[in-house]
Structure 1
Amino acid sequence: MTVNNILQYESNIWATADLLRGCGIKESEWPSYMMPFFALVMIESRLVRMFDELKAEIGEAALAEIAPEDLTGLIEDKGQGYNVYIFEKNQTLKDICKNDKSFDVDFEAYLRGFDGETKDLLGVEATEGEKFLDIKGVITKLKAKKVLLGYTKEWSSIDLKPFDNSAITTLEEHIKRRWADISADTAGEQYTPDDVIGLIAEIIASKIEESDKLLKIYDCTCGGGNLLFGVEDRIHQRFKRLTQTFGQDWNDALYALAKIESRFRVDSKIEHGNTLTDDKFYNDEFDVVIANPPYGVKWNGYQKDIENDKTQRFKYLPSISDGQLLFMQHLISKLNANGMGVVVHNGSTLFSGDAGSAESNIRKWMLDSDFVEAVIQLPTDEFFNTGIYTYLWVLNKHKLPQCRDKVMLINASEKFKPLKKSKGSKRKEVDEVSRLEIVETLTRFVDNDYARVFDKEFFYFNKQAIMLTNVDEQGKSFASRLKEGKISLKLSPLKLDNGERTLTEFTITNCDSQRFGSLVEAFEQDIKPFVSSLDYKEQPLTVTTEKALYRFDADRETLIKEVLGKQEEALGCGKIVVKAAFKKGTKTQPEKIEITVELTPDYQKDYEIIPFHRDEVANQEAIEAFMAKYITKPFEYLENVVGVEINFNKVFYKPEKLRSVQKILGEITAIEKELKGLEEGLGL
């Protein structure tokens, strides 16, 4: 049957939730009730179909003469599962539901009649640990609400037997999409829409060719398998090439769905577990990698495992708050020498992290290694539970000569068709015409009005740190007043005055005994916070010593020294650094509060962002030319860190077109006429 026919079943399947609504189960909980039963009818339909094919192959009469143990072996060899009721009693779920008196017993026996792996995936006997689809738990809840038989009857009426694997996969994708729409309570998890899967498949198809060599496809966060199997099915529509799919996921229920699906495919391996800490395919490399890993999800729960990873796949560890670039590094490590991939990410992987950060270093490593062929910006409102921009990273370890050491940016944000009816946050789809246009642009690899090709170094930048020496209006710094080898001038203050308060001698004798019980208490609660609050630039501060008075002139940005009877002297731009310390008493000295003051040059660490050049000499010359043009104060070079970011807004920014003066004046005239008419109407 056609895809359109099977999609009519979507409403039938969704109608099973009416009973859930009727007995007070929240909509957000529906997927946990629907998943195990959908898996159940999917398994049954395929086993019945397989059994019918077996009958047609060897004849019903011959099949009836086969001993049960031999029949079991014959069917289990096909690797699609086994059920005693279906194969030995010729009964299905629909038959069991006919007798309401024996239903509970029969249904329990029916479930226990499955092979061991199927029972594990459905969660038939789960008591603790991994329950996967947890049908046992769901049955217990439905029994408590006295709707188990009715709910099972609803599902037993759904006959998927006439549909082939590809058609059922299509239906499964649509159902899982709706589940994702109402239950995406796990941060960052995004179900991949059909149109995005189609675009990914088209990109992959443009990079491969017909061959008798097996094509190995891998998804490290495969979820229920919609992206992995969707890409495989589309590849089969274009090529006769044999494929093998590999997937891994940590979510119990989604893994179970993917695992069940995999058993009805020619060659597919699905594993359960955390890809980042327990790679089930650690010895494998692949021709194609695809993934839509979770966005912005913390990985602190398994931080030690990542930090102690021995596989060398993680060159740098990104921020704990977002593990997307961990998955990116993992996927690159899984590519064979000629492998390519397409990975879905949000915008943070393009620009998060400053130069020298792990995120920037990961991007630099990827571009240094020439793994990135293109980045494609998708439209907003493309995914079901987020309206943000998303991006496809096209990875390629075997670039064509014209693509080497280059990266193409494709702004496909306007390549979409509006949906007639929104699906959650999804209001747009990248239609087939747009998909083919995007792939053609990628294949041609030349600039057009929405795509540009860059040397990879275009995305690099120098973050040059410098130490500035601030100067006064005469261009002088206090540094010129210091003796060689000295970094400051230390003063012994007799008095500090900030206009509101004066500090003089600090001993137990002048401690405010009514406010503080001891000198140390006065220090902690009064003197220390007061000294910390002093800001000589915001509020005038005068430091008096035995020989002179010192202050900072904010208007002239210089330190001033005043000596009685002499003209004040400008010392150059500098800082007044005041510190307070409590000194315990000794045999010869009482306890006291010691105030110290230092005059220092006004140094300021700063950095400049400067375009990067591939040639080391040219790069240094560019830095020096930039400094000569823009930096007027004395400075010293500090470290230079090369960063990498990919900024779509910078590349594709289009300034808003301003209206002409004539048009604006015309609008003003029209408004004036309208106001005049209103005034006349009011008799003003």
Structure 2
Amino acid sequence: MALNETKVRNLAGFVWGVADLLRGDFKRFEYGKVILPFVILRRLDCLIADVRTAVAEAAMGLPAGIDDAARDAILSTAAGKGPGVYNTSGLSFDVIKGQEPTQVQQNLVAYLMGFSPSLKEIFIDKFAFVGQIERLGKVELLWKVFEEFQELDLSPGQLENVEMGYLFEDLIRRFSEISNETAGEHFTPREVIRLVVDLLTINDQDALRGSGIIRTVYDCAVGTGGMLAVAEERLHKMNDRIKVQLFGQELNEESFAICKSDMLVKGHDPEQIAFGNSLSQDAHRNRRFHYMLANPPYGVDWKKYAEPIKAEFESLGENGRFGAGLPRVSDGQLLFLQHMISKMREDEAGSRIAIVMNGSPLFTGGAGSGESEIRRWIMENDWLEAIVALPTDLFYNTPIQTYVWLLSNRKEARRKGKVQLIDASGEQFWKPLRRNLGSKRREIPEEARDTIVRIFHNMENGGSEWANVSKIFDSTDFGYREVRIERPLRLNYQASSERIDRIRRDKTFLKLTDESQDDIINLLTNWITSTPYEDASQFEKALMKASQGAGVKIAAPIKKAILSALSERDEEAAACAGQNGRIEADPELRDYELIPLKEDWRTYVAREVTPYVSDAWVDEGYKDEIDEKVGRVGYEISFNRYFYRREELPSLSGIEAELAALESDIAKLLQGTVA
């Protein structure tokens, strides 16, 4: 059956009209909490209308002492509408309509309690719908709202699953748009989702042809299920015979309820949508998926869930989901990405991943940090295909720039060892909204979306018309070695009154007896030198000679304290040598050079360091823990470095003219005020 867009639009308008009944007694952002559960309830009411008798008979015939799982299976089979889709109360919208209006609240609650455990979880636990029914009753709106929905025909004969899905999505979008302060937490703009899905699937057109094709799609931060819905739609457009199975997990109760309901009204198994935190409570632990996509929270800390995540990291290491490393606790985006990578299929089809993140995962953390090690792990396994920079002001709750990461463990031959960066943030890729929706001020039009997808699919690079938008790199181009550069410690030494005062505050000195302290102070005071020594060994010999002449014993710890107190840095002094005779490094002059991974560090240092600091050397003991070579390996991706756009500064004459115009305007305003 072809999608009847007019019918869907008219039904959405009707339901939207029902929401107007709530005006005044409910705030606008609360409309969805009432209307969406009612839509689901009415759809279910129409869906199970023809099996009420069969379910009632099956319920009466259940053996005593049967467990919940067996009971659910028997009643689901009797209903034949899918797992957990049945009601044993004997009630319906028509039955309730035929009874007294004063009984509607009691009857609706009884109706809800007659559903399967899975559906009761949606209505009672997640939607908290009983509370909304009570609230409608208190403001005397319950019967009016109920009557409107009782007249709404949402039966499968009137509205097929695909049309019901579009109706539900349209309502979710509308209610999300009027609740701007919270919409972005669980709702991704549809044009962004369509871009993400198109990028995810565009390279698989050949693989998806034919019959008997099954594809699984997973969203680990599923929200209201928008990404899953668009992914399914896209896959069916590519092959109308394909079977698509949808999976997800969501932490927000209301979003979970909406998503699970959406799966139900579209005929999917709602049990494949799990509740909970996918990072700490992976509900799909043993599953692998063909396609994975997500828009996880940006910059949200994972402190609350740190214990199980760190425990998995420490106990399982590389065999767990987070073996590459843990990012800082203030931002969990890369944890979601690692979680998705852990669910890649190892068969011939492999897996593809698309995840939307902010800029932090691109460059946060230096060499050896959790973030850098995760990027390194991704690059060295050659999973990253491309990153697409999106325009700002696309989302309802944040104006920041976001990026789509595309990964696959079955790269095409032409993409092996390569990463494509696409800067789709320019004006040619967005248009302003006619009316702002919270922080959302822009949208990506369809023609721009098609262009971005084509640039990715064709692997556009320098030399094409998109040379300033798309660039291809070797994956190692983003890697570097952090090499430690040392310089010698240079000190001069002098027994001066000012420096002698320092020893009086030294902890080692203060542990001595009063007599020993006096002896040392007297020794140093009587031995005040007129000029500083520029050689540490000569000064130390002179100090020991003076102590022997004065009969003052100086143990090694106090000698070290005295030398430290009587020294000052001096660029002209000789380099200090340690006990092993090696030049001692000055920690205050220590520096680090980030050397491209493709270049030998010796060549780099000889060219960039030695000509300018001749006494510097590389600490060859500062090595990478993985490859054990000199310098720690790090990875970062800087879009600004590769797509820098120089902005022309205004000319001096232009600035002067602007200032003159402002002065003139101010003078006129002042004249008007005086007059």
The normalised TM-score by structure 2 is 0.74
Structure 2 CA distance for aligned equivalents of residues 672 and 105 of structure 1: 70
1:377 and 2:378 aligned: no
Higher strand share: 1
> 2:419 aligned with 1:437, yes or no?
no
Shift in alpha-carbon separation, 1:180–1:666, aligned structure 2, 3 A: closer
Aligned with residue 613 of structure 1, among 597, 601, 607: 597
Equivalent in the alignment of 1:82: 86
Distance 1:97 1:298 in 2: 52
**Paired AA for residue 650 in structure 1:** R
**Residues 171, 668 of structure 1: CA spacing in aligned structure 2 closer, same or farther, 3 A cutoff?**
closer
Equivalent position to 1:599, from 550, 567, 570 = 567
> Residues 51-130 of structure 1 correspond to what in structure 2 (within 5 A)?
51=49, 68-69=56-57, 76-79=79-82, 81-83=85-87, 91-92=92-93, 96=97, 99-123=100-124
Q: Which amino acid letter does the alignment assign opposite residue 594 of structure 2?
A: I
- The CA deviation string for residues 194-239 of structure 1, in whole angstroms up to 9 with x for no partner, is 1111112212331223143311111111122111122112221221
Q: Which of the numbers 185, 192, 196 marks the counterpart of 2:188?
A: 192
Are 1:313 and 2:301 an aligned pair? no
State the match for 1:386 in structure 2: 398
1:279 alignment partner AA: D
Partner of 1:258: 259
- Amino acid aligned to 1:607: D
State how far apart, in whole Å, the 1-side matches of 2:482 and 2:651 are.
Answer: 41
Question: Displacement of 1:432 after TM fit?
Answer: 1.5
1:344–1:391 CA contact under 8 A, matched in 2 = yes
Does 2:460 correspond to 1:446? yes
* 1:339 is the counterpart of 2:351: yes
Matched with 1:48 is 46
Q: Indicate which of 467, 492, 511 corresponds to 2:486.
A: 467
- Mapped partners of 2:659, 2:425: distance in 1: 38
Deviates more, 1:404-413 or 1:219-228: 219-228
2: CA distance between counterparts of 1:118 and 1:190? 21
Where does residue 642 of structure 1 map in the other structure?
Answer: 633
Contact (CA 8 Å) 2:391, 2:401: kept in 1 or not?
A: yes
SS in 2 for 1:408: strand
Contact 1:496 1:544 in 2 (8 A): no
Aligned partner of 1:163 in structure 2 is 159
Deviations 1:342-384 (CA, angstroms, capped at 9, x unpaired): 1111111111112221011111111111111000011111111
| Contact map agreement 2:477 2:598 (CA 8 A) in 1 | no
**Aligned AA (1:261):** D
Shift of 1:291: 0.9
**Helix, strand or coil: the match of 2:192?**
helix
Q: What corresponds to 1:133 in structure 2?
A: 127
Alpha carbons of structure 1 residues 669 and 497: separation in structure 2 relative to 1, 3 Å? closer
Q: Is 1:231–2:231 an aligned residue pair? A: yes
Q: Write the letter of the residue equivalent to 2:484.
A: A
Distance 1:600 1:504, change over 3 A: closer
The answer to whether the 8 A contact 1:97-1:152 is kept is no
- The structure where helix makes up a greater share of residues is 2
State the shift of 1:178 in Å. 4.6
CA distance in 2, matches of 1:122, 1:671: 64
What does residue 209 of structure 2 align with?
Answer: 210
For residues 383 and 197 of structure 1, the distance between their equivalents in structure 2, rounded to whole angstroms, comes to 11
Native 8 Å contact 1:190 1:292 kept in 2: no
Residue 41 of structure 1 aligns to a residue whose secondary structure is: helix
Rounded Cα–Cα distance in structure 1 between residues aligned with 2:165 and 2:343: 26
**CA distance in 1: counterparts of 2:592 and 2:502, whole angstroms:** 42
Aligned residue among 425, 433, 441 for 1:419: 433
Pick from 385, 410, 413 the counterpart of residue 401 of structure 1.
413
CA distance in 2, matches of 1:67, 1:271: 26
Contact 2:180–2:438 under 8 Å retained in 1: no
Aligned length: 567
Moved more, 210-219 or 390-399: 210-219
Residue 76 of structure 2 contacts residue 82 of structure 2 at CA under 8 Å; is this kept in 1? no
1:39 to 37, 41, 44: 37
Matching residue of 1:304: 307
Instruction: Choose the corresponding residue for 1:571, options 525, 534, 553.
Output: 534
2:331 corresponds in structure 1 to 322
Taking a change above 3 Å as real, the CA distance of residues 93 and 270 of structure 1, as seen in their structure-2 partners, is: farther
Deviation at 1:7, TM superposition (A): 3.7
How far did residue 670 of structure 1 move? Answer: 9.6
- In the alignment, structure 2 segments of 5+ residues that lack a partner are 60-74, 512-521, 538-558, 571-585, 623-630
- Secondary structure, aligned partner of 1:628: coil
TM-align CA RMSD: 4.1
Q: What is the DSSP-based 3-state SS (H/G/I as helix, E as strand, rest coil) of the residue aligned with 2:290?
A: strand
* Aligned-partner Cα distance in 1 for 2:151–2:437: 27
Flag structure 1 segments of 5+ consecutive residues without an equivalent. Answer: 55-62, 124-130, 471-476, 482-488, 507-518, 521-542, 550-561, 575-593
